Amino acid sequence: MEEKWKQREFDLASVADLCSGSSSSSPGKARFTFDGLQILQDSHQILVNVDLLTAQVFKLGPVQSVCIVEEGSDVVKKTSYSKGATLQFRNEEDSAAFHCVVQQWKKEGKVQGGNLLNGTVVTSKSKFDEKIESSSAKMYFHYYGQLLHQQNMLQDYVRTGTYYAAVIENRADFMGHVVVDVGAGSGILSLFAAQAGAKHVYAVEASEMAEYAQKLIAGNPTLAQRITVIKGKVEDVELPEKADVLISEPMGTLLVNERMLESYVIARDRFLTPNGKMFPAVGRIHMAPFSDEYLFIEIANKALFWQQQNYYGVDLTSLHGTAFQGYFSQPVVDAFDPRLLVAPPTFHVIDFTKIKEEDLYEIDIPLKFTASVGARVHGLACWFDVLFNGSTVPRWLTTAPGSPTTHWYQLRCVLSQPIYVMAGQEITGRLHLIAHNAQSYTIYLTLSAKMWGPGAEQGGILQTSSCKLDLKEPYYRMSQPQAYALAQDQQQPQPLLQTQDIHIQSQDLNESEIMQQPSPNSSVPINSLMQNI
């Protein structure tokens, strides 16, 4: 919608209350605002406020119109229009322009909005509303609007401690700068930014948690004067100034679940200055094939219930196949022993500073591994890390197996048909993620074992197994890593396969350094991290 008509006013030769029963009229104005349309009598007294999406505006003649406002419904749901005004324009040109603006409002889908201190929320049907199912959004914002869930995240000391360290150790990036906290939740990151000397922080939060955040921030008065809480989606909010820094915790399971990364990218495009910084700036999805006979049997056994032929006289076996596939369509969320990995991991980089929102709608990752041991491969294990590329101390937050467990745990996609590999054999495949409107992704996984040994270069695929999973509906196993007995040929402890930490020397993010596979000993111990807080 063009700015030139957002606040446009039309002088009226006369305006009269449609329902007063009086023939008296007086000059007035028709004023378009963010809320819709105001019809004023004597140019200052509001005669009627109009929601243009539900009101009816009719042209009665070249310069005469009538506006009828819906006031409600009767018991049988029949709409009652009982309020309105007749409008007399000064000329045909004004009349035509007025009706043009009305149609533009209806076309753009503008609805009510409100002004907030230092920011404006225009609650139009935004891009978020168009791509996300309303019931999913309602549940999502309800979940994050509860203090017990915020507490769960705050008590993840790896998460909270790493964010604190990343901000405080990089005060130079925050000192005297404007910061936007995207999806502020409890407001903890906004408070960290203020502690680091931010000039002003705009904490944008769409859920009811915005009210708790306001209360928490007000309870810290020395910081509160530099923080403004704005309740609304980043897709809708208007801010009075650009940000030098964006800070957010947009990561979900497998990094991309809940699709908040898209909102983070939208906030970047809307609010961040060209040379602004993002905390975090980069994410990586790590993947490796794994072998876990216990997990496979556990999932397969869930479907045994449906193999009963006489359950209260009912044969359930016709549903066994469907139930079996259903259990294997759930990604498993838990912490696992990294010794279960049968090949060194690979990773896929998502650069939050460069990626387009639309690129997150579909993520296609080719897979290629070389088996370290002979084993039955039960699926693909995944985890993620993110980089806070601070000017002073770059820092990684990792969810890798073998590292201190976070509330994200790790994720495993389990094949209903495992494949067999020998040490040195090549494993190929594809991890394909397609976003859906329930704020998550459908996962398509394929793993294949190539021919191995003499003459393998002339051969092709020996075995292939595929599965389809819904990232929205995982199996929350949540167990701590089990003590797995070493096989006879593995009595010597194996080094953990870790990929989570990279030491970056320069201030600028170097793409070749992101892509470099770090050494197994490059991780930062959590006790060292906590000592920095």
Q: What is the dihedral of CA 477, 478, 481, 485, to 10 degrees?
A: -20
Under 8 Å between Cβ of 329 and 468: yes
Q: How far is CA 463 from the centre of its chain?
A: 36
**Residues with Cβ < 8 Å from 398, sequence gap 6 or more?**
383, 384, 385, 500, 501, 523
Q: How far apart are CA 89 and CA 62, in angstroms?
A: 9
Instruction: Give the catalytic positions in this structure.
Output: 249, 258
| Cα dist from 181 to 6, 114, 381, whole Å | 28, 20, 31
DSSP annotation of 177 reads: -
Query: Do β-strands 178-182 and 119-122 pair in parallel, antiparallel, or remain unpaired?
Result: unpaired
Residue 180's closest CA among 163, 165, 193? 193
Q: How far is CA 515 from the centre of its chain?
A: 24
CA 482 to chain centre: 31
CA pair distance 489, 474, nearest whole angstrom: 34
Class of domain 284-476: mainly beta
3-class state of residue 178 by DSSP: strand
pLDDT digits (tens, 9 = 90+) for 77-120: 444 455 788 889 999 888 888 888 887 777 665 433 333 344 55
How far is residue 507's CA from residue 211's CA, in Å, rounded to a whole number? 37
Partners of 81 in the beta sheet? Answer: 70
Cβ neighbours of residue 413 under 8 Å, at least 6 residues apart? 331, 332, 379, 380, 382, 431, 443, 445, 467, 469
Same fold, 1-71+81-108 and 284-476: no
- Torsion of Cα atoms, 166 then 168 then 170 then 172, to 10°: 150
Alpha-carbon dihedral 385, 223, 150, 240, rounded to 10 degrees: -80
Cβ-defined contacts of 428-431 (< 8 Å, 24+) = 428/366, 428/367, 428/368, 428/369, 428/461, 429/366, 429/367, 429/368, 429/380, 430/364, 430/365, 430/366, 430/367, 431/287, 431/363, 431/364, 431/365, 431/367, 431/380, 431/382
CA distances, 396 to each of 165, 367, 400, 521 (Å): 10, 24, 11, 14
Domain ranges of the chain: 1-71+81-108, 141-249, 284-476
Q: How far, in Å, CA of 107 to CA of 111, rounded?
A: 11
Q: Does domain 141-249 have CATH number 3.40.980.10?
A: no
Neighbouring CB atoms inside 10 A of 210's CB total 21
Helices (H), 56-133: 92-108, 127-131
- Tracing tokens 């007749």 back to the chain, one arrives at 86
Q: What is the C-alpha to C-alpha distance for residues 498 and 310, in angstroms, rounded to an integer?
A: 50
**pTM, to two decimals:** 0.70
Is 1-71+81-108 a domain of CATH 2.30.29.30?
A: yes
> What is the full per-residue pLDDT of the chain (533 aa) written as tens digits?
344 444 478 889 998 887 665 566 788 888 876 667 888 887 567 777 787 777 788 888 888 888 887 655 444 444 445 578 888 999 988 888 888 888 777 766 543 333 334 455 444 456 777 777 888 778 877 777 788 888 989 999 999 999 999 999 999 999 999 999 999 999 999 999 999 999 999 999 999 999 999 999 999 999 999 999 999 999 999 899 999 999 999 999 999 999 999 999 999 999 999 999 999 999 999 999 999 999 999 999 999 999 999 999 999 999 999 999 999 999 999 999 999 999 999 999 999 999 999 999 999 999 999 999 999 999 999 999 999 999 999 999 999 999 999 999 999 999 999 999 999 999 999 999 999 989 999 999 999 998 766 555 655 678 999 999 999 999 999 765 554 444 444 434 344 444 333 343 334 455 555 655 443 333 343 344 334 43
**pLDDT reported for residue 104:** 77
DSSP annotation string for 239-274: -SS-EEEEEE---BTTBTTTSHHHHHHHHHHHHEEE
> How do strand 178-182 and strand 200-205 relate by DSSP bridges?
parallel
What residues are paired with 15 via a beta bridge? 26, 87
